[in-house]
Amino acid sequence: MIKKRIIFIGTIIMMGLFVILYRLADIQLIHTESFSKKGVNLVQESVSQRTQEVVIDDGRGRFTDRNGAPLRDQVEPSLVIFPFSKDIEWPVEQLTKIINISESKLNHLLANIKKPAVLSKKEGIHLTSEEIESINNLKIPGIFAIYKQSPIEESIAEHIIGITGENPELLRSKYPDRSDLSYKTQIGITGLEKAFDEFLLPDAETKLLYHVDGDGNPLFGINVKYMADANPFYPVTIETTIDKEIQAMSEDILSKHKIEKGGIVLLDIETNNVLAMVSKPDVNRAEDATLANHMIQPIFPGSIFKTVISAAAIEYGLDDATRQFDCSLNLHGENDGGQDDGMLNFERSFAKSCNYTFTTLAEELIKINDSVIEDTAEKLGLVGPVGWNGKVFHYDNFKQFPNEKLGKIWGANEDKQIKRAVHQTAIGQKDVKVTPMAVANMMATVARGGERKKVRVVENILYKNGTNMYSFTSNSIDGEHISPFTAKSMQKLLRLVVTDPEGTGRRFQSLEVEVSGKSGTAQTGKKTEQGASLYNKWFAGFFPSNQPKYALVVVEMDTTSEESGTNASFYDIVNELANRDL
């Protein structure tokens, strides 16, 4: 019995030792460069424990606006001081003279650092290229003047650019062949960071480093190593279509008018490029809800959708100029006392946004062709995806807006046979949801005479040496489109919204530039804590009316109609752009 117990205990001990030995072998011999699900490189980690370093450039690609201005990171002149410099003698006076700070201040700084210190504008160090050269010519051990990659002072276009984050498991699943990537490598989570992630991945970091012992003292003398990637092609630059100045101006205007939820989309009509796109609320990494770009999420359009019904009516010859509609009736043709516009023709019905006119026309259109509404919406570029997509290298369907959601017109095909469902659809309610970017695209399509294009926010991917990796040259869309006659008629209707003395856009008559557009107020089905109904408030259009250059959409979501800053924001953006172009 005792012998059996000894054998049993011995077996357990041997098995335990075997597990420990296997674990040691796994750590030291088998998976030293890819340990655990995170793919931790144990060799690199052991070295990093004995290393102090300053990363000059993390190697990830960067973003610029259409003029080459940085949108996220910039190269900033900086002074790097390693801790061991406080224990050796060097010409302190010469350095302080160059950087224009007192010797006592520098000595105080040196006395307190335990890790490499990076000093730049934030710390009052403003270095010129000549001063950088002078500092490095002093050849002081542990002190370097460099150009360091750093975030720009004020964040801009955050919803377009997107965010990055660490996700080791996702990294390994997306890029199984990139064993050279550290598990700490940042990957794109939203926006362009997500769309272009494979192009943006770092090839190697550029850094200054030196090795230390357990007490932080230099391990191999005081030589600091400069490690840089010699690859002339990476990191790449994503050249966006954004205009940084216009983007910043648009963001400021929305903040000025206290639009807390909503945003703007501004397109160049000729190219269909995004010049500015703002989504509110601002990005807050601690709150997932703020990461959504509302400009590519479907929401109720309200009377903006009457643009589609009008275009369909013109295409099918239902725009009789002599016909009168009783706009004292509600959308269902009932006299509930809520309307008092009297008899209006088709054009003035559009200018004053008479519901009854467009519910009547929608009924008549569906009797002619029950798919006419969705077909016309597609011809106008309103249903998507409307963002650029196509073949790029090994991607068969690369998307510049990977988080873009599709809009829809009908909840069920049977609704086309239900009068009240048709009525609600005709005025952009019921199940109609479209993205603000798609509405901007519709306005640009009308302004171009009916030519449809995909919305583009990136024009080129550039190698590090400035040569071109890829250009997103074509963004035209094949297929049916509205006729030039329909487009011209719609341009007149959209202009009448502003010029009519009772038009819903008459506020914009005082602008120096002529504006054409359409307003919209959509019920959301939500209420405030006090019980007040919440609406989506829109204004969408293009300008100058006679030679369209810009298509602009402004929407404020979940607001009470009295508090909306939509029209004020639209007005100010148009005014700023007009002054810029004059």
CA 99 – CA 79 distance, rounded (Å):
9
What is d(CA 407, CA 420) in angstroms, rounded to the nearest whole number? 21
* Averaged pLDDT for residues 120-137: 90
- If 0-12 CB within 10 Å is exposed, 13-18 middle and 19+ buried, where does residue 323 land? middle
CB-CB contact of 568 with 507 (8 Å):
no
The C-alpha angle with vertex 364 and arms to 358 and 485, in degrees rounded to 5, equals: 70
pLDDT at 198: 96
Q: How confident is the model at residue 47 (pLDDT cuts 50, 70, 90)?
A: very low
Express each pLDDT in 356-395 by its tens digit: 999 999 999 999 999 999 999 999 999 979 999 999 999 9
Kind and range of the H or E run holding 306: helix 306-315
pLDDT for 228 equals 77
- Is the pLDDT assigned to residue 123 strictly greater than 90? no
SS3 string, 210-262, reads EEECCCCCECCCCCCEEECCCCCCCCCEEEECCCHHHHHHHHHHHHHCCCCCE
> What is the share, in percent, of the chain residues with pLDDT greater than 70?
91
Out of 9-23, 265-279, 463-477, the most confident range is 265-279
- Residue 19: predicted pLDDT: 63
Whole-number pLDDT of residue 160: 97
Residues 6+ apart with CB under 8 A from 332: 359, 419, 420, 423
On the question of pLDDT at 211 being above 90, the answer is no
H-state helical runs in 67-190: 92-99, 103-112, 129-137, 158-161, 168-174
Say what the pLDDT of residue 392 is.
96
- Considering the domain 51-240, what is its CATH architecture? Alpha-Beta Complex (3.90)
φ/ψ bin of 438: left (φ > 0), alpha (ψ from -120 to 50), beta (otherwise): alpha
Separation between Cα atoms, residue 446 and residue 487, nearest integer Å? 5
What CATH architecture is 244-581?
A: 3-Layer(aba) Sandwich (3.40)
Helices H, strands E: what count in the chain? 18, 21
pLDDT recorded at residue 110: 81
**Mean pLDDT of the region 219-235:** 73
The mean of the pLDDT values for the chain is 89
Q: Which two tokens stand for residue 541?
A: 């259009």
Q: Which is higher by pLDDT, 16 or 290?
A: 290
Task: Report whether pLDDT(214) > 60.
Answer: no
Cα 550 to chain centroid, rounded: 19
Residue 18 has pLDDT above 90, yes or no: no
The 10 Å Cβ neighbour count of residue 28 is 11
**Exposure string for 456-475, b = 16+ CB within 10 A, e = fewer:** bbbbbbbbbeeeebbebeeb
Q: Which ranges of 26-156 would DSSP assign to H, the alpha helix?
A: 42-49, 92-99, 103-112, 129-137
Using left for φ > 0, alpha for ψ between -120 and 50, and beta otherwise, residue 125 falls in beta
Q: pLDDT tens digits for 172-199?
A: 899 998 888 888 899 999 999 999 999 9
Contacts of 558 (CB under 8 A, 6+ apart): 261, 524, 526, 534, 535, 536
Pairing type for strands 62-64 and 237-240 reads parallel
DSSP character string of 540-576 = EEEESSSS--EEEEEEEEEE-GGG--HHHHHHHHHHH
Rounded Cα distance, 59 and 203, in Å: 6
Whether the predicted pLDDT of 44 surpasses 50: no
Confidence band for 529, pLDDT divided at 50, 70 and 90: confident
User: Tokens at residue 301, please?
Assistant: 């359009």
**pLDDT of 46:** 43
User: Which residue numbers are catalytic?
Assistant: 303
Give the pLDDT of residue 484. 97
Whether 20 has a pLDDT exceeding 80, the answer reads: no
Instruction: Tell me the per-residue pLDDT of 130-178, one tens digit each, with 9 for 90 and over.
Output: 999 999 999 988 889 999 988 887 889 999 999 999 999 999 899 998 8
Closest CA to 241 of 66, 64, 476, 455: 66
pLDDT of 513? 97
Is residue 64's pLDDT more than 90? yes
Compute φ and ψ for 46, nearest 5 degrees.
-65, -35
Lowest mean per-residue pLDDT among 12-16, 38-42, 74-78, 163-167 = 38-42
Distance of CA 531 to the CA centre of its chain: 33
Backbone φ, ψ for residue 4 (5° rounding): -65, -40
Task: Give this prediction's pTM.
Answer: 0.88
- Whether residue 251 contacts residue 284, with contact meaning beta carbons closer than 8 Å, is answered with no
**Quick one: average pLDDT of 312-340?**
94
The two beta strands, 468-471 and 458-462, are antiparallel
User: What is the band of 62 on the pLDDT scale with cuts at 50, 70, 90?
Assistant: very high
**According to the model, what pLDDT value does residue 152 have?**
86
Residue 422 has pLDDT above 80, yes or no: yes
Query: Where in the chain is CATH 3.90.1310?
Result: 51-240
Cα-based distances in Å from 142 to 83, 108, 136 = 8, 17, 11
In this predicted structure, the answer to whether residue 3 has a pLDDT above a threshold of 90 is no
Q: Are the beta carbons of 539 and 567 closer than 8 angstroms?
A: yes
Q: Kindly report, residue by residue over 478-514, the tens digit of the pLDDT.
A: 889 999 999 999 999 999 999 999 999 999 999 999 9
